[in-house]
Chain A
Amino acid sequence: MTDRRIGVYVCSCGGNISDYVDVARVRDVVEHEPGVAAARTHMFTCSDASQQEIIEDIRNESLDGLVVASCSPKLHLFTFRAMADRAGLNRYQYVQVNLREQCSWAHRDDTALATEKAIRLVRAGIAKARLTEPLATMRIETTPKVLVIGAGVAGLRAALALSELGLSVFIVERSSDVGGWTRRWGKMFPHQQQGSDIVAALSARVRHRENITLFTNAEVVEKSGSVGKFTLQIRVDGFHTIPLVVGAIIVATGFDVYRPSPGEFGYGQDGVMTLAEFKELVDRSPEDLSRGGRGIKDIVYIYCVGSRQSGGGDDAHSYCSRYCCATAVHTAICAREVSCGLGPAKDCIGFHQFHLFRDMRTYGKHEIPYEDACRKGCVFMKYGDDDPPKVDRVDGRLRVRVNDQYLGGEEVEIDADLVVLVTGMVPRENAALVDVLKLPVGVDGFFNEIHPKLRPVETVVDGELIAGTAQGPKTLPESVASGLSAAAKAAALLKKGYVDLEPFIAEVDTSRCVWCGECLDACPYGAVEKTSVQGKEVARILPSLCKGAGACIPVCPENAIEIAGYTDAQVEVMIDALVREVVVEEVAVPVT
C-alpha cells in the first residue's frame, strides 16, 4: 500500500505522558500502520541518547518519514527538525504529534480514553508523514538597492543609514527641495535645534554619499515586481522617465498642516493664524513680536483645531495630532523669549498668552516645557469637548470667549492681538502614489502599517515600508526614528542579498485553475498574479510574497490551490485517522 519507511517514536516524558497514556500500547498498535518501519518508546525522546538512537534508525532503516509523539511542537519542533538535518532526513518530513499538552495532561481523569486518543493522534501523524515530500526552503535573491520616496528628515535619514550599510539608495522628492517642513522651521522642540540646520546637515551628509542618488521634482509613476526586485519608473521634471530596480521601497512622504476652513475659529480674519504660520512669525522675529507695525501683547492659543473632532463632517479629523500640544507650548516659550527675553516674569509685564486646551498632551519629557510655560506666565484654560471657544471681532480687536472648566465652566472673555489656531497634521495628498504602490490607507488618511503594535513600518505589501509622518503624526525625533526603523527593515530584507523562506506556501494546480480572480482578491499580500500557461489564463503564486496563511484556499471555486503540508490529501487522511476506531485486535493482527 505504501513504500514509505516511517519511524515513530512515542515519548513517555518521564511519566508526564506515560502516567496517563499507555505508551507501550500506543507503540504496539501503531507499529502495524502502513509505512511504519520502526516504532519505539523513549523515556525522554528529546534526550541526547534518544536522539542519537533515532538518528541511527534513520540511517540504518533508511527512514524517509519521522513521527515524534511527545510534547507540544512549540517546545521541540525545532529540536527534532535539527535532528532530522543531522541525520540527513529532510526536515519537512518530520511530523510532531502533541501527546502531552493536548492528550495526557488534558485527560488525566481517564487514562484508557487518553490512550485511545493518543493512538488516534499518532495514527494521524503517521498518515500525514506518509504524504510528506522533501521540501526545501526557498531562497529569494534580492537587489541591494532601496528607493526612498520623500526627502524630508525621515527619508533623508533613512537613506543615510542604508547607504552606510552599503546599500544603494535612490531618493525621489516631489518638490524641488529637500527637507520638507523641517527646512522651513527655526528652533524646534525638544532640542532647540534650528530645523534648517538639521536639514542642512543631513543633506550635506547625503551629498557626500556616493551610493545615494537624489531626484528632485520627481515622482514614481509605475511599479511592478515584488519584494527583492521592484521595477519602477520615475518621472523627473515632468517629462523624462527613468527606470529603477530596487529591492525595497520606503515611503516617507510626510504630512500637511491642517488648514482651517474659512470662519473656523475666526480663521481668515486678520490676526487669526495657524500654529505653523505663527511659528514662522516667531522664527522670523528677531526682537519684538509684532505684526503690521503693531506689537503683539495678548495671544490666545486655541488647541485641537482640526484634531479630535469626533462626529464631525466628512473631513473631520477624529484623531489626535500628537505633536501640537508640545509645539504650541514650545512656540509660546519662544514667543515669550522674543518679546521679553529670558528674564523672570517681571520683565514680561503686559505680555499675556492664554492657552485654551482640552487635554494637555505633553507626554513624556515634553512635560518639562509645559511646566516651564506655566512658570513663565502662560495661562491654561480647559474648554469642554463640546464647548469650543468662540472668536469674534469687537471694536477692531479679536475677542475670544471660552467657558473655562477650571473655573467651573464660567465664561471668560479675552481680548487678543493674535489668535493662534493650534492646528494638527493631516495626511498628504498622495492619491497617485497610492495608486502606483497599492498601499493601504487608514480611515484617518495616513498610510497603514500591517500591525499597529509590533510592525509599525511594514505594510501588507512586502518590501514596501512606511516612515515618518506619512504613517501618522509624529515629532521630529520620532519621525527620524521611524525613518531609521524603516531603513532597518529594508536592510533586514536586502543586506544578505537573499531571503530564505519556509516552503509551506500555496501552490496552484493550473489544470484546474480557470482564473476567476477570487484568490487575487483574497490575498492581502498581493502574492497572486495572473499568468498564462500554454495560452490559458491561470493564477500564479509569488513565492516571495506568499505567507502560507491559506486565505486563498477556501475561496477557490475550482479547489485548485493547496498549501504544502496542508494538502487536501494530507488533511483528509489525518481526519480519517483521527476518527478511526481503535480495535484491540489491531495489536495482534497487522492491518494490511
Chain B
Amino acid sequence: MGNGGSHYDVLVVGGGIAGMESALTLGDMGYTVLLVEKEPSIGGKMVLLSKVFPTLDCASCISTPKMAATANHPGVNALTHTEIDEIIKRDGGDFLVRLHRKPTFVDPVACTGCGQCETACTVALPDQFHYEMVARRAAYIPYPQAVPKKALIERHGSSPCSFACPAGVKAHGIVSLVRCGKYAEAFHLHMEDAPLPGCLSRACYAPCEAECTRGQLEGPVPIRLIKRFMVDRYYQEHPEPEYGPPEKRRGETVAVVGSGPGGLTAAFFLAREGYGVTVFEAASEAGGVLRLGIPSYRLPKDVLDRDIKNVTALGVEIRTNSRVRSINELKEQGFDAVLLAGGAMDPGRMGAPGEELEGVVDCLTFLREVNLGRQIDLDGKTVMVVGGGNAAIDPARAALRLGARKVLIQYRRSRAEMPAHDWEVEAARAEGVEFQFLKAPQRFLGIDGRVVATESLSMRLGEPDSSGRRRPIPVDGSKQTIPVDLVVLSIGLRPGTTPFAPELELEKNGRVHVNSATLQTSIPWVFAAGDAVSGPSSIVDAIGQARRAAFSLDRYLNGEVLGEAGFDERLPVVDKQAVLARSPSLAVRSPREKRELAAEGRARSFAEIEAPLAETEVRYCASRCLDCGGCSECRECVRACPANAISLNMHPEEEVLSVGSVIVATGFKLFDAHLKPTYGYGRYPNVITAMQMDRLLSPTRPYHHLVRPSDGKVPDNIAFVLCTGSRDYKVGNRLCSTVCCMYSTKQAQLIMGALPLADVTIYYIDIRAFGKGYEEFFEQAKAMGVNYVKGRVAKIDQVDGGSLMLHYEDTTERGGANQAEHDLVVLSIGILPNADALKLFEGEALAADPFGYVREPNESIDPGRTSIDGVFVAGTASAARDIPDSILHSGAASVQAAGYVESMRNGR
C-alpha cells in the first residue's frame, strides 16, 4: 500500500488515556494500530494523578493495567519518545506518516530499569513529571510506573564548551564532575580524550570558555582553572600514574616523530590500543613546544613531566636526541607505521639587512635557551621583539624576567589584526612590555657584528592580502632608529619537514600533504598531525589532530576502511539562545575573582603567574555551569550501568509509513500560572498549582510528606483558587475547564485525610459538579468540613514567614471585599488546547474551533470526526473533558476510524 515502510490500519497520536483507549479498542476489533507518544512513557497525565474523583480510585492502580495492556497488545505497536514530523493525506484516502524516534541514549533491550545510572548521574534537572518540584537526573526513569520502564538520558545536543574543544575534551563533563566533588573521575574523563591535562589546564587558550553560554551573562565558567584544580589535586594524590601498559598487546609497532603535544597524544592513544610505540625526539628532553616554547611562569616543568608520565606509563619509549632524517629508515628498522608530529621548528627569516648579526635571534631559539635554563643576562638591556602572534608575547615577557630594562614589541599591523590572544597582550602590557603597532624594522644596524639598533618604518594598512588581512604598506619618510641590545624575531615558523622532502609529498609551504579527513600522507603507512600538517597552531589543536591521526592509523593497521566515520560522534551543538530561554530568570552570579600575582612583582620571576582556585571556589565556579546540553557526557552512567546499556552516540531514527486512518489524541496543555502574575506563582514558593498538589498527594510524591515548599513545614491552612486561567478574559481563556472544581474537591478530601487538623478553603465562582456521582462527592467534601467560599480571588500577597494573604470578593456578602491568610495556596489551573495537534498535518489543514481545539464539524451526530475525512479526534484534544468523557469520546473516535478503514477496504 504505502511508499516504503510498513502499513497500519490506524495511527493514534498521543498515548494518554484517550490514545490508549482508542488503540486498545481498535486493537481488540482486529485492526493494526500504531500508537505514537512523544514522552518516554505512555500513560499521559492521568497516571501522574494521586487519585481520581468521584470514586477516589488510585490513579496509578487503574492506569497501569491499561498501560501494560497497550504495551502488550498484539495488535498495537506503541512507540514512545517519538515525534510525528508530518502526516499527509494521499489521493487514495490513506495517509503518509513521517516520524522520528528520538534517541534515548539507552539501549531499551538491555536496560533493566534498575536506576543505577540515575544514582551515578552528575546533572540535576527539574523533573517534569513532578512539575518541577524536585530535581531528577539527566539520566532517569520517568517515574516508577512508566511503560516502558527504561532509563533515558536528557540530551539537547553537545554543550558548546565540549563541542568547541579541538581535542574533544568533554569540558562540560569535567565541570559537572568537579561540581560534585568527583575530581578523580574528572581526571579520568579527561584522559579519555587527551593525555596532557596538566599542560592543557595551564597553557590552553581554552576555546571552551570562549563558547561558554554563561559568557553571554556575567562571564564564562573558568573551565581551564577548574580543570587545573582537578589536575593539581589528582597529581598531588597520584605522583605516578595508576596504570601500567595495557594487557592487550599487539604485534605491530609505530614510530612517532616528535614528542610535542601531538606526538605525545598520538603515542598515548596508540599505546592504549596495544601497539609498541617509540617516540623520536630531536631535542635533549621530551615535550617539544611544551618544554621549549612555553616559559615556566606559564607552564611549570614538573607539571609537564607528570603529564609525560601519563604516556610513558603505557610503555611508550621516548628517544631523545634522536632526530629522524628518513621515514624509510624507520620502516627498515621494523616499524609498521609512522606518525609524523614534528612541530613548526624552522624559523622564518625577514630577509632584512643585518638579520645575521649577533643579537638577532629567532623566538624559538631564544625561548629554548631560556627554557633549558641557559644563563642569559639581559640586566638593564633593551630588547625588541618583532611579530604579533602569541610567539611574540612569550619572549617579551621572558626578557623582562631576565632583567631587561625595556622590552618593545613591534608589529607591522594594528592591534586589531594581532593574532595574539587579548589576555596575553594585556598581561604583557601590565608587566611593562611596550607595544608599537604599525611599525616594523627594515634594517638591523650592528657594530662589530653585534646588533646595536634597528631602523624601523611606520606602516599604513592597504587592501587585504591573501591571508584576508590588510597588507601593511611602508610610509615614506617615517624612518626611526631605535637602539637595542637584543632582537627576537617571532615571524612565520615553518614545519621542520625538509629532510622528508624526497620521500613524502609536501605542500609548497613545507607542510605535509595529507588527506584532511584521515590525515594519511602520500605514503599509506605514514600519518601526520600537528604543525607539520597545519602550520603553527595551538597545543589543543595539535592534540586533537594527533588523536584523529592515531585513530586513522589504528584503522589502517586493522585493515579497516579509513574515513570520517566513527571518529567524531558529537551531537550537534545546542543553541545557546535556547539554553538561555530555558532559564529565563537566571540571576547574575559573580564569576570568581581573578587572583593573579600582582603584575609588578611577578614580572621579575619565572614562578607560575596564575594562582590556583581554592576548592570551594572551584565548586562554586563549576555550579555556574548551565548544563547546556543536559547530559554532561561525564560517563558516570556508562560506568555505573551493569547492563552496559548506555549508548551516548544514538541518533534519531526516521521512519516513513502509511496508515488508513488517524486518531488525534494529543491531549491538553495546562494553563501556565505565571501568566496570572497577581497570584504570585513562581515568586511565592507556597503558591503551587493543582497538578503540583496532586503530585504531593500521590504516594509517589516528590516530597516525603505533604509539606509546603517554602520551608518544609506541614501546612495547616490551605486554600484553593478555582478558575485560575479559566473563565477569564484577561488571560485569553473564556472557557470553563470542566475538571478543576472536581479535582480541587478531590484534593481537598485527600488533604483532610492526610492532615486531619488542617483547614481547607475553596474559593470558587460556581461549583460544577455535573457528572455522575460528582454532586454527591461535592456534598461529601462539604460534610467533611471543606470550606467553600464563593468569590474570585483578586490578588495574593506574601506575608511573614512565607504565608499568603488572599484578597477576594465574597459575592454572597454585601460589599464583600475580604482577605484571608493561608499558609499554602493551590491554584486550580485550567486546561488549554494543545496547539501541537494542528501542526501534525501537511497539505489539508486540520481545522480548529474558535478556541484552538480541534474542530468537530458535526459534533451532535459525529462526535470525534474532524474537518479531514479519515482523521478523528479523541479526548481533550477537542475540548476539556474529564476522564469518563474522554473515554466515551475515544470510543466514538475509534469506531468511526474503524468505519473509515472499512469503507477504504470496500473501495467505497
One of A43-51, A214-222, A415-423 at the interface: A43-51
- Contact between B25 and A492, CB atoms less than 8 A apart: yes
Task: Determine the distance from Cα of A456 to Cα of B851 in the docked complex, in whole angstroms.
Answer: 28
Q: Mark B882-908, 1 if CB is under 8 A from A, else 0.
A: 011101111110111011001100000
Task: Determine the distance from Cα of A188 to Cα of B861 in the docked complex, in whole angstroms.
Answer: 12
Check: A257 CB closer than 8 A to any chain B CB. no
- Contact between A488 and B895, CB atoms less than 8 A apart: yes
Check: B770 CB closer than 8 A to any chain A CB. yes
One of A122-130, A328-336, A478-486 at the interface: A478-486
Task: Determine the distance from Cα of A485 to Cα of B887 in the docked complex, in whole angstroms.
Answer: 8
Please give me the residue from chain B that is nearest to A471 by CB atom.
B772
Q: Which of B112, B889, B899, B903 contacts A16 (CB 8 A)?
A: B112
- Contact between A457 and B896, CB atoms less than 8 A apart: no
- Contact between A454 and B66, CB atoms less than 8 A apart: yes
- Report the minimum CB–CB distance from B646 to chain A (whole Å): 12
Q: Mark A398-418, 1 if CB is under 8 A from B, else 0.
A: 000000011111100000000
One of B50-58, B206-214, B490-498 at the interface: B50-58
- Contact between B863 and A481, CB atoms less than 8 A apart: yes
Please give me the residue from chain B that is nearest to A487 by CB atom.
B895
Check: B558 CB closer than 8 A to any chain A CB. no
Q: Which of A320, A453, A485 contacts B891 (CB 8 A)?
A: A485
- Contact between B776 and A319, CB atoms less than 8 A apart: yes
Task: Determine the distance from Cα of A44 to Cα of B645 in the docked complex, in whole angstroms.
Answer: 12
Task: Determine the distance from Cα of A488 to Cα of B66 in the docked complex, in whole angstroms.
Answer: 17
- Contact between B812 and A161, CB atoms less than 8 A apart: no
Chain B contacts for A166, CB-based, 8 A? 902
Check: B608 CB closer than 8 A to any chain A CB. no
Q: Which of B766, B890, B896 contacts A359 (CB 8 A)?
A: B766
Chain B contacts for A322, CB-based, 8 A? 770-771
Most B Cβ at <10 Å: residue of A157, A322, A485: A485
Chain B contacts for A48, CB-based, 8 A? 109
- Report the minimum CB–CB distance from B818 to chain A (whole Å): 13
Chain A contacts for B864, CB-based, 8 A? 481, 484
Please give me the residue from chain A that is nearest to B72 by CB atom.
A78
Report if A164-B902 is in contact (Cβ < 8 Å); known contacts: A453-B55, A480-B861, A481-B863. Answer: yes
- Contact between A409 and B29, CB atoms less than 8 A apart: no
Q: Which of A165, A325, A457 contacts B898 (CB 8 A)?
A: A165
- Report the minimum CB–CB distance from A464 to chain B (whole Å): 16
Report if A363-B895 is in contact (Cβ < 8 Å); known contacts: A47-B110, A319-B772, A476-B860. Answer: no
Q: Which of B738, B890, B896 contacts A364 (CB 8 A)?
A: B738
Q: Which of A366, A452, A493 contacts B54 (CB 8 A)?
A: A452
Chain B contacts for A361, CB-based, 8 A? 766, 768-770
- Report the minimum CB–CB distance from B875 to chain A (whole Å): 11
Most A Cβ at <10 Å: residue of B62, B736, B858: B736
- Contact between A481 and B892, CB atoms less than 8 A apart: yes
Task: Determine the distance from Cα of A310 to Cα of B778 in the docked complex, in whole angstroms.
Answer: 11
Q: Which of B25, B66, B737 contacts A489 (CB 8 A)?
A: B25
- Contact between A44 and B112, CB atoms less than 8 A apart: yes
Please give me the residue from chain A that is nearest to B54 by CB atom.
A452
Check: B767 CB closer than 8 A to any chain A CB. yes
Check: A501 CB closer than 8 A to any chain B CB. no
Q: Which of B816, B888, B889, B899 contacts A164 (CB 8 A)?
A: B899
- Contact between A451 and B899, CB atoms less than 8 A apart: no
Check: A183 CB closer than 8 A to any chain B CB. no
Chain A contacts for B790, CB-based, 8 A? 382, 405
- Contact between B113 and A75, CB atoms less than 8 A apart: yes
Check: B643 CB closer than 8 A to any chain A CB. yes
Give A440-470 interface residues, CB cut-off 8 Å to B: 442, 444, 446, 451-457
Task: Determine the distance from Cα of A14 to Cα of B735 in the docked complex, in whole angstroms.
Answer: 53
Check: B838 CB closer than 8 A to any chain A CB. no
Chain B contacts for A430, CB-based, 8 A? none
- Contact between B899 and A161, CB atoms less than 8 A apart: yes
Chain B contacts for A454, CB-based, 8 A? 17, 21, 62, 66, 883-884, 887
Chain B contacts for A74, CB-based, 8 A? 68
Q: Mark A28-68, 1 if CB is under 8 A from B, else 0.
A: 00000000000000001011100000000000000000000
Chain B contacts for A100, CB-based, 8 A? 114
Report if A477-B888 is in contact (Cβ < 8 Å); known contacts: A319-B775, A359-B768. Answer: no
One of A190-198, A267-275, A283-291, A536-544 at the interface: A190-198
Please give me the residue from chain B that is nearest to A359 by CB atom.
B766
Q: Which of A360, A471, A495 contacts B30 (CB 8 A)?
A: A495
- Contact between B28 and A492, CB atoms less than 8 A apart: yes
Check: B734 CB closer than 8 A to any chain A CB. yes
Give B754-797 interface residues, CB cut-off 8 Å to A: 766-776, 779, 790
Task: Determine the distance from Cα of A446 to Cα of B881 in the docked complex, in whole angstroms.
Answer: 21
Check: A13 CB closer than 8 A to any chain B CB. yes
Report if A14-B860 is in contact (Cβ < 8 Å); known contacts: A364-B880, A368-B734, A454-B66. Answer: no
Contact size range, A: 35 or more
Check: B329 CB closer than 8 A to any chain A CB. no
Report if A488-B114 is in contact (Cβ < 8 Å); known contacts: A165-B898, A359-B767. Answer: no
Report if A363-B859 is in contact (Cβ < 8 Å); known contacts: A13-B112, A14-B642. Answer: no
- Contact between B29 and A496, CB atoms less than 8 A apart: yes
- Contact between B890 and A496, CB atoms less than 8 A apart: no
Give A116-153 interface residues, CB cut-off 8 Å to B: 153
Report if A191-B859 is in contact (Cβ < 8 Å); known contacts: A47-B110, A164-B903, A471-B772. Answer: yes
Task: Determine the distance from Cα of A407 to Cα of B734 in the docked complex, in whole angstroms.
Answer: 25
Chain B contacts for A191, CB-based, 8 A? 858-860
- Report the minimum CB–CB distance from B63 to chain A (whole Å): 8
- Contact between B738 and A363, CB atoms less than 8 A apart: yes
Check: B814 CB closer than 8 A to any chain A CB. yes
Q: Mark A62-82, 1 if CB is under 8 A from B, else 0.
A: 000000000100110010000
Chain B contacts for A476, CB-based, 8 A? 860
- Report the minimum CB–CB distance from A495 to chain B (whole Å): 4
- Contact between B861 and A202, CB atoms less than 8 A apart: yes
Task: Determine the distance from Cα of A75 to Cα of B643 in the docked complex, in whole angstroms.
Answer: 16
- Contact between B895 and A491, CB atoms less than 8 A apart: yes
Task: Determine the distance from Cα of A408 to Cα of B814 in the docked complex, in whole angstroms.
Answer: 5
Give A364-390 interface residues, CB cut-off 8 Å to B: 364-368, 371, 382
Most A Cβ at <10 Å: residue of B812, B884, B889, B891: B891
Q: Mark B224-244, 1 if CB is under 8 A from A, else 0.
A: 000000000000000000000
Check: B811 CB closer than 8 A to any chain A CB. yes
- Report the minimum CB–CB distance from B115 to chain A (whole Å): 9
Check: B384 CB closer than 8 A to any chain A CB. no
Q: Which of A71, A153, A444, A453 contacts B57 (CB 8 A)?
A: A453
Q: Which of A165, A363, A485 contacts B888 (CB 8 A)?
A: A485
Check: B476 CB closer than 8 A to any chain A CB. no
- Contact between A488 and B25, CB atoms less than 8 A apart: yes
Please give me the residue from chain B that is nearest to A485 by CB atom.
B891
Task: Determine the distance from Cα of A455 to Cα of B890 in the docked complex, in whole angstroms.
Answer: 12
- Contact between A360 and B775, CB atoms less than 8 A apart: no
- Report the minimum CB–CB distance from A481 to chain B (whole Å): 4
- Contact between B895 and A13, CB atoms less than 8 A apart: no
Give A135-187 interface residues, CB cut-off 8 Å to B: 153, 157, 161-162, 164-166
Footprint of A on B, CB under 8 Å?
17, 21, 25, 28-30, 52, 54-55, 57, 62, 66, 68, 72, 109-110, 112-114, 116, 149, 641-643, 727, 734-738, 766-776, 779, 790, 811-814, 816, 849, 851, 856, 858-864, 879-881, 883-885, 887-892, 894-896, 898-899, 902-903
- What are 6 A-B contacts defined by CB distance under 8 Å? A78-B72, A164-B902, A198-B860, A480-B892, A485-B890, A488-B29
Closest 10 CB pairs of A and B: A14-B642, A485-B891, A408-B814, A492-B28, A484-B892, A488-B895, A488-B891, A164-B899, A359-B766, A405-B812
Query: Other CB < 8 Å A-B pairs besides A15-B642, A100-B114, A193-B860, 11 of them?
Result: A201-B861, A308-B775, A318-B775, A319-B773, A361-B770, A364-B736, A454-B887, A457-B888, A471-B772, A491-B25, A495-B898
